[in-house]
Each structure stands twice: as C-alpha cells, then as structure tokens.
Structure 1
Amino acid sequence: MTDYTKLIDAETWAFIERTNSYYPPDTIDYTIEQQRAIYDRMCREFFAGYPDGVKAEDRTLTAPLHEIPVRIYRASADPKAIVVYYHGGGFILGGLDSHDDVCAELCARTGYEVVSVDYRLAPEHLHPAAFDDAFVAFEWVAKNYTQPILLCGDSAGGNLAAAVSHSTRGHARRPVGQVLIYPGLGGDQSKGSYVTHAEAPMLTMRDMAFYKDIRTGGADVSGDVTYTPLADADFSNLPPTVIVTAECDPLSSDGQAYAARVIAAGGKAFSHEEPGLVHGYLRARHTVGRARASFTRIIEAVAMLGRREWAFA
C-alpha cells in the first residue's frame, strides 16, 4: 500500500483536509443533486477572485437542439491567442463558476482570451453530449476569432480537450496546442498509477468507476475516441501537447501513455508528473507551494504554445 505520509507534504495535507471538510470522500454516495450542491459550495470556498484587469462576459452559443453557455475572459485589447477551457468535475459536476477564478488567472497571466465552456452534464445528458458541446464551442471560436486556438482542460475537461484535438486534425483552424491537466484519457486500469494510487486522497478507483457508469448510462463505449482518446489507433498530426499530472492520482499514467503515443507518431508531446500532488490541486495554487509552482508551469506552457513555440526536450 502506498504510504502517502511520505509522499505528501504538510501544506498539501492541509489542502486535502480543507477539501474534505467541504467535499467529504463519500460524496459519491449522495444523490447527484446533493453532490452538485456540495461541489459548488466547495468551489465557492476556494474562490480566489479575479486578478486586476480581467473582465468576463457570459454568452450563449446555439447548438442544433440546445444552447451552450460560455464565459469569455479578456485582459488585453489585442490577445495573441484564444484558449478554449473545459472544466473538470467527473462529467457530472461543475460549470462556469466552478473554474471561474482559474480561467481569470489563466487570462491575466498569459494575456490570451479564454473561453470557458459550460458543456452538458451527465446523467441528464449521456455521452457524447459533453463532447458534442466541446466540439461546437471549438467551432464557434474558430469561426469568430482569427488568433491561434489552444485547448486546455483539467480532469474531465482534459479528456474533452484531447477528444476535440483528435477530432479537429482536418479542420482549417485546428488547434495550435493543447495543455491537459491531470486528464482521464482511458488508460489501462490494470497497471501503473491505477494500481499504485488506487486509494489516493482526492480521487480513488471507486470514484472513477462511479463517474464512468454515470457518464455512459452503463453502455460500453470504450472504443469511442470521443470518450477515451487513448483508444485512437492514429496519433499522427495532433497539436503540440503538454500534459501535467499529479503523482498521487490514479490518472497519472494516462498522461505518460498519451505523450508516448503522440511522440511515437512523430508529434511533439511533453508529460510532467508533479511530485507529491493530488488530483484537483488547481484549487491549492495559492496555498501550496508545489501547486503554485505547477500552475506557473501550466501558464508558461499555455503561453508558449500560443506563440507556436516548443521548448521541451
């Protein structure tokens, strides 16, 4: 059994305990409505506000049969790139408010415009509803902006960003890069971090089994690339990819496996595992030194890809 007392420092333990005080580890046993209320309250408790100079505007995109809310963050009159951001939350939680401050800080520190997407959630909307909304949002950005487009997301949102990257390789405005933050990409659950960190703080294999069944309604869609990007047989022509994972997270191996597939297909990819960090550590970026340093790395990766640069070995 993994000894987390040796891997995780005191600052991170304090973050874990604070998170658990708002979002108990057994929250998946509650109703969906209760889970959302608990998650939304937790996000409000961690809300860090907007940096100076950032303004946000809510808009609604029109899809074939419904509307998709988005929030657009601006800090510059002349942004050099546009970031499409997909939030985490296991495909059942979160929205424009849950990652509001993260997107505002991403905007302020890069100078890029950020479009946060409020995709439909399960179980009311089963797969591929979230992917469909993610794709529609990308197409809207491609149609309405001339700047380079980057995709970014954390956890479930990292899955969506990757899925959109795979689906837009032939698009005239295909993304110039993607930054995936502790994403779930459909890796082999019989080995690697799935085994070593099956009982990690903040995310366990039991949690993941719950999220999987909720998203699919129990259907087997394991071969669907829009559900599990690692299921793709072709990893060629993907945009330059930076993946940042947490060591103490069942999903960590997904980042390494995905980067290896991109590189093997002749593409550019870099995967970095953050020592001693846990799933969901973006909320700790102002209180935990390791998380603060990691968020800076994420910002730098987004800024670099937006400039169409690559500085990773």
Structure 2
Amino acid sequence: MNPPDYDVLLDDEIWAYMRRSDEFYPPDAVGLSIEDQRAVYNKMCAAFHQSHPDGVQTWDVTFGGVPCRIYEVGASDITVIYYHGGGFVVGGLESHDDVCAEICARSGYRVISVDYRLAPEVTFPGCFNDAYDAFQAIAAEYAGGIVLVGDSAGGNLAAAVAHHARGRIDGRIKGQVLIYPGLGGDATKGSYVRHANAPQLTVADMAFYQQVRSGGEPPKGDPRYAPLHDTDFSCLPPSVMITAECDPLSSDGETYRDAILAAGGKAIWVEEPGLVHGYLRARVMSQKAAASFDRIVAAISALGAGDWPADLS
C-alpha cells in the first residue's frame, strides 16, 4: 500500500492552519516534559481562541468535586456535557472555551465543560471517574435531556460515560456526538495503518499518551478505558461520530458505528475528507473545518431536540 500523499489530500487552508499550529505546538511536542507540553499547548489554544458570541454567559462551578464551566444564552431543557481533548495530558477549561461558547450560542442549549484531572497526576481510572462524577452531579442538578459531546480524548470519555450510565441513569441521555474520538480500535488495520504518520497525530504519539494515561500497561477489556473493548453495545444513546480522513483514529468512528448498528441502535459515522486530527481549531481558517463544525452543531441540536440527524452532508 502506497503511503498517503498529504500534499494532495490536504488543501492550502489546512496546510496554513498546520503551519500556524506548529509555531506554538511543534510536531515533536511529545518529547517535551509534561509541564512544557502543557505550556505550548495552552499558547496554541490561546492563539486560535475566538471571542464569545454575543449573549453567552459563563461561570465556573464544581460538579461532583470536578471544576466545570457553564455556558448559557437563556433557559434550556437540554444540557450538553462537553469533555475536551488533549490526550488526557493537556487541555482544560480554557483550551476549548470558545468551542463550547459557540455550541451554546448556535444550539441554544446549556453547555457544561468538564475539567477532569489529567495524567500523569492521575492515571486510569482517574480521568474517567472525574468525567462520570461530574456527569452524575450535572444530571442531578438539571432536569431534562443530556447530550454527551467530546473531541479526541474527550470523545473517549463521553462514550465511556454513555456505556457506564446504562442501567444507572436511563432515559436522560438523548445522544452523543464524538469528534475524532479515540475509542480503542484495532491498531493493526484501517486508518491506524494508512495514516500512522499523519500530520497532527501519529500512532507513536498515541502510544505515548496511552502510556502516560495508564501509568504503564494499558488495561484490556475495560470499556471505561476503551469503549470499543465493551462486549455489549446495546441500549446506547443515538450516536454521531465525526472523524478526520487524515487521522489514525478515523477508523474508530466507523467501527463504533458498526458495533452500535449491529446491536440494534442508532448510529452514523461521517468521515471528513481532507481534514486532520484537532481540526476544530481550524474552523476559522478552513472552509472544510468550518463546514464540519456546522455538522457537529447540527448533530448536537438535532439530538437535543429528539430528532435523528440522518443527513449531515
């Protein structure tokens, strides 16, 4: 199999975004100390940060002992719980602040961003425990439906919460939207092989993050760690997976969709051509990334309203 030609697959706008991103967060950032990784990541996020849309109000609170940030544009019966990406090692309330504000403004829903603790300060299941503790407390505080959303590592956490909530908090989760999530798929095939050395995220990068997150050997057969390792995909909420073509994790969206459909559930997978891992930040530089963000918001809005977003083209 010939290696992918990213000069062909990626357009000028995405290359411009990646050059801008690399000015702050270089491709070899995993070789830095954790402290330095966080510093350069925070600088990168700040460089791409957009002003909040008019009318969005925010305040910081604690749910289940976990720091969180609430975004509102008015009363809403729907709460979006957002788990940020960053390989379980970097990121926080500031890194995805503008993304959450825009989702709030465009959907009209309350959005709550969860600042789960990071590795290596806590190792698995620490991040998951924080994610689930916050989820339980938010569900207890706000009546109405919940939409779980997360990107990358946050997509993993959103799905893990959905799996764990079955039989515990039934009927409250109206859907989940997973943005280029890492779900623990088969690393010997699909995008893991074809895009092993993709720009913005490589298989080697993923191995580093897994080692830090697990504190050594990643656990096996635990859906709290890797939702695709579950043996039961029934009774999950309607699920939308949106992935980037040039990303080793893309196949996880397809595999997860197929597992849910085989178990009789509702699921859709959209692979965005010509995009790379982490493209949410590219939405102000790339028409493709902006169009994908439109689809993400449309999926969140539809699921919160109890509709199935069958057409995300």
Same fold at TM > 0.5? yes
Question: How many residues end up aligned between the 2 structures?
Answer: 308
Give the match for residue 148 of structure 1: 145
Matched, 1:89 2:86: yes
Picking from 119, 124, 129, the partner of 2:126 is 129
Distance in 1, matches of 2:261 and 2:213, equals 30
Give the C-alpha shift of residue 256 in structure 1. 0.2
Distance in 1, matches of 2:309 and 2:5, equals 35
TM-score (normalised: structure 2): 0.97
Correspondences of 1:52-131 after superposition (within 5 Å): 52-62=54-64, 67-76=65-74, 78-131=75-128
Q: Deviations over 1:122-146 (max 9, x none)?
A: 0010001110011011111110111
Give the match for residue 24 of structure 2: 22
> Structure 1: which 4+ aligned runs deviate by more than 6 Å?
none
Give the C-alpha shift of residue 61 in structure 1. 2.7
Give the C-alpha shift of residue 312 in structure 1. 1.3
Q: Answer whether contact 1:162 1:229 (CA < 8 A) is retained.
A: yes
Give the match for residue 259 of structure 2: 261
Q: Which residue identity is paired with 1:101? A: D
Identity fraction in percent: 57
Distance in 2, matches of 1:230 and 1:265, equals 13
Q: Which residue identity is paired with 1:160? A: L
Distance in 1, matches of 2:189 and 2:179, equals 21
Give the C-alpha shift of residue 239 in structure 1. 0.1
Q: Which residue identity is paired with 1:17? A: R
Q: Which residue identity is paired with 1:254? A: D
* Between 295-304 and 217-226, the greater mean CA deviation after superposition: 217-226
- 3-state DSSP class of the match of 2:272? strand
Q: Answer whether contact 1:126 1:217 (CA < 8 A) is retained.
A: yes
Matched, 1:249 2:251: no
Distance in 2, matches of 1:270 and 1:131, equals 24
Structure 1, unmatched stretches of 5+, are none
Correspondences of 1:274-293 after superposition (within 5 Å): 274-293=272-291
Give the C-alpha shift of residue 173 in structure 1. 4.9
Q: Answer whether contact 2:303 2:309 (CA < 8 A) is retained.
A: no
Give the match for residue 237 of structure 1: 235
Give the match for residue 223 of structure 1: 221
Distance in 1, matches of 2:218 and 2:226, equals 11
Distance in 1, matches of 2:210 and 2:216, equals 8
Structure 2, unmatched stretches of 5+, are none
Q: Answer whether contact 1:80 1:111 (CA < 8 A) is retained.
A: no
Correspondences of 1:190-205 after superposition (within 5 Å): 190-205=188-203
Q: Deviations over 1:159-210 (max 9, x none)?
A: 0000000001111454110000000000000000000000100000110010
Distance in 2, matches of 1:275 and 1:200, equals 14
Q: Answer whether contact 1:142 1:173 (CA < 8 A) is retained.
A: no
Q: Answer whether contact 1:155 1:183 (CA < 8 A) is retained.
A: yes
Give the C-alpha shift of residue 153 in structure 1. 0.2
TM-score (normalised: structure 1): 0.97
Distance in 2, matches of 1:61 and 1:212, equals 26
* Between 215-224 and 86-95, the greater mean CA deviation after superposition: 215-224
**C-alpha spacing 1:311/1:103, structure 2 compared with 1 (3 Å):** closer
- 3-state DSSP class of the match of 1:242? strand
- 3-state DSSP class of the match of 1:14? helix
Q: Deviations over 1:73-92 (max 9, x none)?
A: 0011x213100000000000
Distance in 1, matches of 2:227 and 2:290, equals 28
Distance in 2, matches of 1:187 and 1:311, equals 25
Give the match for residue 166 of structure 2: 169
Q: Answer whether contact 1:238 1:262 (CA < 8 A) is retained.
A: yes
Q: Which residue identity is paired with 2:109? A: Y
Distance in 2, matches of 1:49 and 1:177, equals 28
Give the match for residue 212 of structure 1: 210
- 3-state DSSP class of the match of 1:285? helix
Give the match for residue 312 of structure 1: 310
Give the C-alpha shift of residue 274 in structure 1. 0.2
